[in-house]
Structure 1
Amino acid sequence: MGLPTEPIGSIPRPPELLAAMADHAAGRIGEDELAAAQDSAVRDTVRRLEEIGSPVVTDGEQSKPSFATYPLTGLAHLAPDGAVIPFADGHQRRLPRLTSGPLRYAVHADRYLRAAQRHATVPVKQAVIAPSALSLLYPPDGIDDYPLGAFLDDLTAEAEADIRGCLDAGAHIVQLDFTEARLALKLDPSGGLLDQFVALNNRVLERFSATEQARIGVHTCPGGDQDSTHSLDVEYPALLPALLRLKAGAFYVQLASEPEPDKALGVLADHLPDRARVFIGVTDPIDPRVETPEEVRDRVLAAARHLPVDRLGTCDDCGFSPFADDTSTSRDTAFAKIRSRIEGTALAARELTG
């Protein structure tokens, strides 16, 4: 028996796609030319993942403007001055602010899934943004004629449709990106904001059957953008018990870059829900050094001292380029790290399961 191993999502875009995106934004090429560059990048991403032995692939988020804002592409009722996400190195990302209702996703993630499936010969997983992240679109002072309750109703329905569309299209698993979980504890150490986020995400997840929930996973990390994080200084034991209350069948947990992984593994062992599987991060996308397969193996063996082997898997800590303009990690480095993850997981599996 092997150990499952999966990518998290984003892969750095090739230079040709980045150039096409810039040309499209400047009006030098049209939608057809951009779509052709995106499809070429998706095809190359899937091909390279399969060539290095990835048993599950993604589209690498090649066509997404970012992991968080893809549903908003083309929406008109947005202003640029929304919630600010500060990173440790001083740079910021900013979400848009919703100016009127109703909220409707302009793009659903099954579009990206189907694009990858056209090129894949192995199962394809699909990342979607957690509704808790998009709840930050709603301004603190409210919106005239669109109360918060109505917004949350609309957001819940749209998030459900985003997930269900991917499940119906045959996704191997649908992964909710919940990077704001750890950030919530930095913004509100009391845990109140995190509890609100978990409740909202469960409001969506509870609309799915137990069989469907088994095909839904949740990813958490301290953010990863331009070689910096937004919440690595928040201790994991404060987050994990709340995170593991989510009605999901898999949890993808950043650990390779964690200062005290054994402490986090102990909490995971104490709180992992029945029948859920935890995929531990064994490669750090922010570290430019490529891990060796042996390092990956040792990280898996350390996790197996805390967690049952039949409920263990591996992943990368985070996506390698969650925002399209993040070129801090090269495409070749990302694939080299993924290869080490796959090979190191196989080494660990042989030791653990024979």
Structure 2
Amino acid sequence: MSRRRVNPPFRAEHVGSLLRPFELFQKRKQFEAGQCSIEELKAAEDSAIKAVVQMQQETGIKAITDGETRRGFYFEGVFNKLEGMTFVPNRPLTEYKPYIPFVVLFSAMGLKEFPSIYCTGKIKRTEPWYTEQFIALKHLVPPEDVKNLKVTMCPPTWFHQRHGSKLTYDLSVYENDDEYFTDLAKAYQEEIQDLYDLGCRNIQFDDATFCFFCDERMVSGMKALGDDYETLLDTYVRAINTAVKGRPADMTVGVHMCRGNFTGGLHYAEGGYARIAQKVFTELDVDCLYLEYDTHRAGDFQPLKFLPLDKVAVLGLVTTKSSKLEDIETLKARINEAAEILSKEGIPSRSKEAALDQLCISPQCGFASVWEGNPLSEQDQREKLRLVVETAKQVWGGMV
């Protein structure tokens, strides 16, 4: 029997975002229509977060989040708060890399422009990103549970992959990617330290860039334009590693590798982790990897053989893209299959018990990475989380 985990990630996890309660939807509409104040909206957000925290506690989830309830999109609150970054509300799609999966989709839909960020000056973190939200969240749990709370944020690679080096930053400000990512990393380090000082011990980067590298359509598009796939992948691994460099030893950092979770649960990318696993699983300086495994487009478990002995893989076996509830015996069988591959084919090899100890289970993504959320009800969401917890209890035994 694998031992109980006392630090994140826990046997039963979830990726972060949760459906916004109906009352908050209504209040947000009123605010946008000028029918209520920002103070009234914040009060509604506070009430909604209290409710989603209680829901997580009732289902048995330990790594509690605020559900990203104060955000319209999961990546909000980082780049838009940095000095040196300029919001471009109508950026032409011609300034995006045409092979990026969501750009392909938007082009097919006839879109000509899409909002983005452009770096016009030296990057500085002049205000916190999520410290205020974390303070509010930690007041909703017992003091002994504060260390388990999870803060989610977009990675430093966000925006760069969609535009490339020439159109992500002003070349008179930064001459190359190393300069750009060095200053950006400093901002991340400052935020992580401030969160740590407030009691945060659990941070998760939500990263779509790595799974985009798994999509053959994108790789072919990169080759056609002469963009170096391997060099860019190295750059993104290094960008995250630099951002988390020097973090306290008791700070858990994870990366969720996402294939897209837009309005209605729409995905963008397809393809298993085989193309990136050896490099990303071994070289990324994080403690855990949240991996999507809810459909065939995620590939098989073979890439898990590259999981190092000091990392944990959180298997996203339960989909958030539909209300259909998975079969618990099938979930248990899939976890066992992953453990078998990790033990028999792992580099280095390990016992079945050790392999199982490196695994956890979660939904494959958040329930509401964007404001509208996925096509499930709040009751569906609750049942999905309960299923994750019950599966973990039956696989690993006892408390999760």
Aligned to 2:75: 68
The structural deviation recorded for 1:24 is 2.0
Change (3 A) 1:152 1:259: closer
C-alpha offsets along residues 83-106 of structure 1, whole Å, 9 cap, x if unaligned?
573476966894512262233455
1:97 aligns with 2:135: no
Q: Displacement of 1:207 after TM fit?
A: 3.2
CA distance in 1, matches of 2:233, 2:42: 38
1:287 equivalent in structure 2: 322
Give the Å deviation of 1:338: 0.8
Contact 1:253 1:280 (C-alpha < 8 Å) held by counterparts: yes
Structure 1 stretches of 5 or more lacking a match?
none
Contact between 1:184 and 1:193, CA under 8 Å: does it hold in 2?
A: no
- 1:297 is matched with 332
Structure 1 Cα separation of the partners of residues 329 and 141 of structure 2: 29
Change (3 A) 1:328 1:140: farther
Q: Is the 8 A contact 1:219 1:251 kept in 2?
A: yes
Residues 197-237 of structure 1, C-alpha deviations (whole Å, 9 max, x = no match): 1121112223335x25x6111111211222221112x3320
Q: Give the 5 Å matches for 1:199-214.
A: 199-208=238-247, 211-212=249-250
Cα shift at 1:140? 2.9
In structure 2, C-alpha distance between the alignment counterparts of 1:94 and 1:126, rounded to whole Å: 27
Q: What is aligned with 2:233?
A: 194
TM (normalized to structure 1)? 0.87
Change beyond 3 A, Cα 1:204–1:74: closer
Amino acid across the alignment from 1:255:
Y
Q: Is the 8 A contact 1:88 1:228 kept in 2?
A: no
* Aligned counterparts of 1:88 and 1:288: Cα–Cα separation in 2: 25
Letter in 1 for 2:335: V
Corresponding position: 1:30 with 2:50? no
CA shift for structure 1 position 345: 1.3
Matches within 5 A, 1:1-354: 1-2=3-4, 4-73=11-80, 77-82=86-91, 83=96, 85-86=102-103, 94-98=114-118, 100-104=120-124, 107-121=128-142, 122=145, 123-136=148-161, 140-141=166-167, 142-143=169-170, 145-149=172-176, 150-186=179-215, 187-188=218-219, 190-208=229-247, 211-212=249-250, 215-225=252-262, 226-232=264-270, 234-244=271-281, 245-259=283-297, 261=299, 263=300, 265-269=301-305, 271-307=306-342, 308-350=355-397
Q: Structure 2: state its 5+ residue gaps.
A: 6-10, 221-228, 343-354
Contact 1:280 1:317 in 2 (8 A): yes
SS for the counterpart of 1:100 is strand
In structure 2, give the amino acid aligned to 1:252.
Y
In the TM superposition, what is the alpha-carbon distance from 1:112 to its structure 2 partner?
2.6
Moved more, 114-123 or 125-134: 114-123
Deviations 1:34-78 (A, max 9, x none): 111111111100000101111221111111221112224577831
Are the aligned partners of 1:182 and 1:220 in contact in 2 as well (CA < 8 Å)?
yes
Task: Give a deviation string over 1:155-182, Cα, whole Å, max 9, x none.
Answer: 1111222323333322242111112211
Relative to structure 1, is the Cα distance of residues 74 and 275 closer, same or farther in structure 2, using a 3 angstrom cutoff? Answer: closer
For residues 87 and 169 of structure 1, the distance between their equivalents in structure 2, rounded to whole angstroms, comes to 42
The change in CA–CA distance for 1:304 and 1:88 in structure 2 (over 3 A counts) is: farther
Which amino acid counterpart does residue 192 of structure 2 have in structure 1? I
Contact map agreement 1:217 1:250 (CA 8 A) in 2: yes
Are the counterparts in 2 of residues 95 and 137 from structure 1 also a CA contact under 8 Å?
A: no
TM superposition shift of 1:246:
0.6
- After the TM superposition, which of the residue ranges 44-53 and 285-294 deviates more from structure 2? 285-294
- Rounded to whole Å, the distance in 2 between the matches of 1:155 and 1:199 is 12
Q: Which moved more, 1:303-312 or 1:82-91?
A: 82-91
What is the CA distance between 1:81 and its match in structure 2?
Answer: 3.6
1:284-311 deviation line (CA, Å, top 9, x unaligned): 1113202243333222222222231221
Q: CA deviation at 1:134?
A: 4.2
TM-score normalised according to structure 2 size: 0.77
DSSP-derived class of the 1:282 partner = strand
Distance 2:123 2:28 in 1: 26
Q: Distance between the aligned counterparts of 2:298 and 2:243, measured in 1?
A: 32
Find the residue that maps to 1:101 and give its secondary structure: strand
Query: Which protein is bigger by CA-based radius of gyration?
Result: 2
Specify the alignment match of 2:347 in structure 1: none
8 A contact 2:214–2:273 mirrored in 1: no
Q: Which amino acid aligns with 1:174?
A: I
Amino acid at match of 1:100: T
Distance in 1 (CA, whole Å) between partners of 2:247 and 2:339 is 30
